[in-house]
């Protein structure tokens, strides 16, 4: 089956490689527009099939990602000559890589295939998607809808294909057959992608540390962090995991969070029951991933206030001293106190080294010196400032991060890139080096002068 899909993909890609920029962009736009136009239907299918996340949030995600990715891609050159640098006399020529193999997760079964298809076709490639088995129906339906629209535009058949009955064996076979692999999902699959013998782009584990400085409006900060942590029931890897607040502000910060819908667990027995429900033998309980706070409380056998958006559990140590310092893919956050800003960074850094190194962190501060200090000290690929990390680390209209669903984590997270994955990673570039005339060559004395 993979051989047949590859043959079809190569035939389609050869035709597509002759398209000009305007033709390519028209196709890419329609991929996003299909998901935007069918956002409600696809969100319902995703929730029903995966039993994860929040319908309204998935609608918002389907529409938002489609818009912001197209907005970012529409003016970018990706066909033939894309740049000329008059200082270096370098001309850059963009060329397709060929066939992209993309592994998509159960947590984002609609927007990840859409996103990777937009990136692949922006570079005049073909793409074959390997969906998660627990999300195969909604992912396949998404691709079918896209292909119907592209057929109406006269695009080559088989530019976008999907494995309708996915398995580990078929996914591994696909990764070994394609020209480049994009793996968005669990660390086992990412490791397999890097072991496929083909160029690969993967993601690392998330565990976003949230530092709250002393000079911010705690109520506004609470709104933003709760919005990020509760979005789609916390299944986004860039969602906030911790609240790190100054010890003198801690009670005031907690009151602000409680006023905005958080529930701080003060009862020790309830605390331990929830902790035991979140983690089994040190590992995240798969049954709570993407579930609501009410469902989590039900599994734990505890009662939480009606209307709770996020559960707060105070950690009893940092790093490996408390399992609550790990990633929790549900609407639960752990809380910490610090005495100095340096200690806040130390807490965040220690937790990241325990899990999540290279991914993302967030800070709420109006002190640029502190913001830069955190950026220099933390081993993360992106630091989100004064915004919900879950919905902006992957790019937004309000920051400069490339809109994506695949967030590289650099060598810290065993990834090949430390930036947001986008179309530019799916093109080859030939560089033409023209002779630079009238260049003043420095003498040895000038070169070695201090």
Instruction: Cite the active site residues.
Output: 237
Rounded Cα gap, residues 429 and 424, in angstroms: 9
Dihedral of the alpha carbons of 7, 11, 14, 18, in degrees to the nearest 10: -160
Report whether 40 contacts 17 (CB < 8 A): no
Residue 49 and residue 138 in contact, taking contact as beta carbons nearer than 8 Å:
yes
Helix/strand/coil for 379: coil
Nearest Cα residue to 370 out of 216, 170, 152: 216
Instruction: Specify whether the backbone of 414 is left (phi greater than 0), alpha (psi in -120 to 50) or beta.
Output: left
Size of the chain in residues: 450
Residue appearing with tokens 């239907």: 41
Phi, psi values for residue 426, rounded to 5°? -115, 25
Structure tokens, 286: 């798969």
Strand partners, 247: none
Crossing angle of helices 268-278 and 293-300, in 10° steps, is 100
CA-closest candidate to residue 406, choices 30, 118, 178, 46: 118
What is the three-class DSSP state of 361?
A: strand
For the range 399-402, what are the long-range contacts, defined as Cβ-Cβ under 8 Å and sequence gap of 24 or more?
402/72
């Amino acid at each position: 089956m993979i051989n047949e899909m590859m043959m079809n993909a190569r035939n389609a890609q050869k035709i597509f490689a002759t398209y000009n920029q305007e033709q390519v962009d028209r196709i890419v736009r329609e991929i996003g527009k299909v998901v935007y136009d069918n956002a409600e239907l696809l969100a319902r299918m995703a929730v029903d099939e995966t039993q994860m996340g929040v319908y309204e949030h998935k609608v918002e995600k389907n529409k938002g990602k489609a818009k912001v990715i197209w907005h970012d891609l529409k003016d970018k050159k990706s066909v033939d000559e894309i740049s000329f640098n008059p200082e270096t006399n370098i001309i850059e020529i963009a060329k397709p890589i060929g066939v992209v193999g993309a592994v998509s997760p159960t947590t984002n079964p609609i927007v990840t295939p859409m996103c990777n298809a937009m990136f692949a076709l922006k570079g005049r490639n073909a793409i074959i998607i390997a969906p998660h088995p627990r999300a195969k129906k909604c992912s396949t339906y998404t691709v079918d809808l896209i292909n119907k629209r592209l057929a109406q535009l006269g695009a080559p058949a088989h530019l976008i294909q999907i494995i309708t009955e996915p398995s580990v064996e078929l996914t591994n076979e696909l990764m070994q057959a394609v020209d480049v692999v994009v793996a968005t999902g669990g660390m086992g699959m990412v490791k397999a992608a890097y072991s496929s013998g083909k160029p690969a782009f993967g993601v690392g584990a998330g565990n976003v540390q949230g530092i709250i400085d002393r000079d911010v409006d705690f109520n506004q900060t609470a709104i933003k962090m709760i919005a990020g942590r509760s979005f789609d029931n916390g299944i986004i890897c860039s969602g906030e995991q911790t609240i790190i607040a100054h010890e003198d502000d801690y009670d005031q910060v907690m009151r602000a969070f409680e006023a905005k819908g958080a529930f701080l667990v003060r009862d020790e027995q309830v605390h331990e029951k929830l902790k035991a429900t979140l983690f089994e033998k040190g590992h995240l309980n798969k049954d709570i991933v993407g579930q609501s706070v009410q469902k989590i409380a039900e599994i734990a056998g505890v009662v939480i206030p009606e209307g709770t958006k996020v559960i707060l559990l105070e950690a009893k140590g940092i790093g490996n001293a408390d399992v609550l310092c790990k990633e929790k893919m549900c609407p639960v956050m752990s809380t910490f106190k610090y005495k100095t800003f340096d200690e806040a960074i130390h807490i965040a850094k220690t937790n990241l080294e325990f899990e999540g190194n290279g991914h993302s962190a967030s800070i709420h501060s109006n002190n640029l010196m502190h913001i830069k200090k955190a950026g220099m000290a933390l081993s993360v690929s992106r630091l989100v400032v004064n915004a919900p990390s879950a919905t902006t680390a992957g790019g937004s209209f309000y920051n400069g991060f490339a809109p994506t669903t695949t967030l590289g984590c650099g060598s810290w997270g065993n990834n090949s890139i430390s930036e947001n994955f986008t179309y530019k990673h799916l093109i080859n570039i030939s560089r033409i080096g023209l002779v630079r005339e009238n260049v003043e060559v420095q003498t040895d004395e000038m070169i070695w002068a201090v």
